[in-house]
Chains A and B, each alone.
Chain A
Amino acid sequence: MRASWKYKILVVDDEPDLERLMLQRMRRDIRAGLYKFVFAHNGLEALDRLKEQPDIDLVLSDINMPKMDGLTLIEQIPKVQPDIRSVIISAYGDMKNIRTAMNRGAFDFVTKPIDFDDLKLTISRTLQHLVEWREALESRDKLVALQNELGVASKIQQSILPTRFPDRPGCRIFANMKPARNVGGDFFDVIHLADGRIGIAIADVSDKGVPAALFMMSCRTLIKGAAIGKTDPGEVLHEVNQLLQEDNDAAMFVTVFYGVYDPESRQFHYANGGHNSPLVVHTDGSSAELPLTGGIALGLMPDLDYDNNTVTLSPGDLIVLYTDGVTEAFDEQGNQFGTRRLQEVFAGVEPTDVREANRSVFEAVEKFAGETPQSDDITCVTLLHSADGG
């Protein structure tokens, strides 16, 4: 049953007259359902009331009482009910006891003889403070719960990203993701296919946070499933799009670049669903974007076709796949990192170490961004054809 009053106040005083006086002077607020008064005649009784009635919001207590005085009571209250407020009633001018009470945690005081207008004001001020305190506690608890949830989601998400990559002559791969918030919308995958071919996917889900992460999980599973069943990257994207767009009321979408690399022939066969075009870096440090194939981001509409394209790598070529967290990182002046700066990372140097190449992208973006907070996930996958086994 819901209480028919808003606040419950415990009045503690050994004078029998106070109870009657209080009920009489506060009758309007009692009738209006604002306050409910309960009474105790000494500190021990007050503690019993607090244990019996955990819905008490405020304690109004006299100081001099038999069995347990008000100052001891004030000290005991937090042990029974940590989140209630107390107001002390003291003799006029008794600064010593008032100070002691305040030091022991009383929120405020009123003096005897009681001025009921002042008391009403003190009660309402104290309750106002209590309400704000409770709201603050509640939002803190919600925040902690949310952070815990996000922490778990982030761990699951990180744990599904591959951490072991092909590392053999002709095909060395490394990948890394740095999420902007706890849970990101970027992901990558490296899939071992028949005949030594390797499928590489990189993707960016619209928006971030938990909904994006869930969408990302299902997208990643669909790509893996489609990649193992089909050899044609365009067909893989077609199938994944077809499944993602069903029941996609939230209009989430994902940009996906999917390529299949054959170390034997050095051919990289790819299709693009609205993703940034990867860079190919040559042994002289020059680089170019792979030609776009004009595909639309996945999840938006049914029956989309995705064109394929094929490039043949030269020995020593490096492919750099990335998400827009790289090129759209901002510096303190609001400039974007851009593709030109990404190309400069590799300019003039022969890429020989796939990890090092990957790390250099993150380092360049970090240095560029300076103190600017990271606003988007940053993901980079590097694939190196190293013929010499170096």
Chain B
Amino acid sequence: MEINTEREGTLLVARAGGRLDSINAREFDDALKSAISDSDQVLIMDLEKVSYVSSAGLRVILLTAKTLQQRSAKLLICSLAEPIREVFEISGFDKIIPIHANLGEAKASIG
């Protein structure tokens, strides 16, 4: 499980790829934890290259959002492929975590 990260000031963009399922959920969690620094105010997860998200994957995303929220930082998600978007919609996660069509829109929303 590899994630690419890019930092612009207090904004961190994390790009993940492949499947986020129960097999690599922990790895995904570890990778995020080590990538995020305490000074990051906004994390944008770019999931364009993600082909599948199971409930275990959703749980890691939720845990990350909760951890960030505790110190008033926030999580945004962008670039979901159609099947992944459906997973977020059916589970209601799109009502908890802001989802944007692409990275540009996500960045613009921060203001």
Contact = CB atoms under 8 A, between A and B. Distances in A.
Given A297-B93, A375-B22, 19 more contacts: A204-B55, A206-B56, A206-B59, A207-B59, A208-B22, A251-B62, A251-B63, A253-B55, A253-B59, A255-B91, A273-B92, A274-B90, A296-B91, A296-B93, A297-B91, A297-B92, A300-B92, A324-B55, A336-B52
Contact of B91 (A208, A274, A375): A274
Interface residues of B, number: 20
Interface of A: 185, 204-208, 251-253, 255, 273-277, 292, 294-297, 300-301, 324, 328, 336, 375-376
A205 B90 CA distance: 14
A255 B21 contact: no
B25 interface: yes
A162 to B, nearest CB: 23
Interface in B70-111: 83, 90-93, 95-96
15 contacts: A185-B55, A206-B56, A206-B59, A207-B56, A252-B59, A253-B58, A253-B59, A274-B91, A274-B92, A297-B91, A297-B92, A300-B92, A300-B96, A375-B21, A375-B22
Contacts of A301: 96
B66 interface: yes
A24 B21 CA distance: 60
A37 B8 CA distance: 63
Complex A-B, nearest 5 residue pairs according to Cβ-Cβ distance, in ascending order: A296-B92, A206-B55, A274-B91, A274-B92, A206-B59
A204 to B, nearest CB: 6
B10 interface: no
Given A205-B55, A255-B55, A375 B92 contact: no
Residue of A204, A252, A300, A376 with highest tally of chain B CB at under 10 A = A300
A275 B22 contact: no
A375 B53 CA distance: 12
A324 B62 CA distance: 19
A295 B25 CA distance: 24
Contacts of A295: 92
